[in-house]
């Protein structure tokens, strides 16, 4: 995946990174005010779509989201985040993956807005 991070998202990532490294005891109790930003949501959506993947536990796919309207879907997600009413659905254990260091590791599936967006929005690499 070779998506270029928008400058506004890079600025946010840098600020959060600097705060975390500069104040190791500081705790980010709520990032709602950061992750509901349109630029962050759009970039997270683009990254997740470019990465592919199967539908979440709710059965929603990227095709479903595009049929519904990406802008509308992102606006609704942003509103849930802004009002702090977003609640991730429980994950479902999908399969057990064999691992060399131990017998098996479980994988879990969440819904699109849970698994993909939260993971992507708070992953600052």
Asked if 61 and 52 touch (Cβ cutoff 8 Å), the reply is no
- If you average pLDDT over residues 91-97, what whole number do you get? 68
Compute φ and ψ for 97, nearest 5 degrees. -100, 130
Closest Cα to residue 35, out of 91, 90, 77? 77
75: helix, strand or coil = helix
pLDDT at residue 10 in the model = 92
Q: Would strands 104-109 and 92-98 be described as parallel, antiparallel, or unpaired?
A: antiparallel
Q: Residue 124 — pLDDT band, cuts 50, 70, 90?
A: very low
Q: Residue 15 — pLDDT band, cuts 50, 70, 90?
A: very high
DSSP state of 37: S
Q: Residue 121 — pLDDT band, cuts 50, 70, 90?
A: low
pLDDT for 20-45, tens place per residue? 999 999 988 878 788 889 999 999 88
């Amino acid at each position: 995946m070779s998506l270029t991070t928008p400058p506004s998202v890079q600025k946010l990532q840098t600020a959060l990174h600097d705060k975390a490294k500069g104040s190791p005891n500081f705790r980010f109790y709520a990032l709602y005010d950061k992750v509901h930003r349109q630029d962050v949501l759009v970039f997270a959506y683009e990254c997740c779509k470019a990465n592919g993947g199967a539908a979440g536990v709710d059965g929603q796919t990227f095709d479903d989201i595009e049929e519904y309207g990406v802008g509308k879907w992102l606006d609704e997600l942003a509103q849930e985040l802004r009002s702090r009413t977003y609640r991730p659905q429980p994950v479902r254990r999908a399969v057990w993956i064999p691992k060399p260091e131990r017998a098996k590791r479980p994988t879990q599936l969440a819904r699109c807005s849970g698994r993909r967006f939260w993971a992507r929005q708070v992953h600052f690499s």
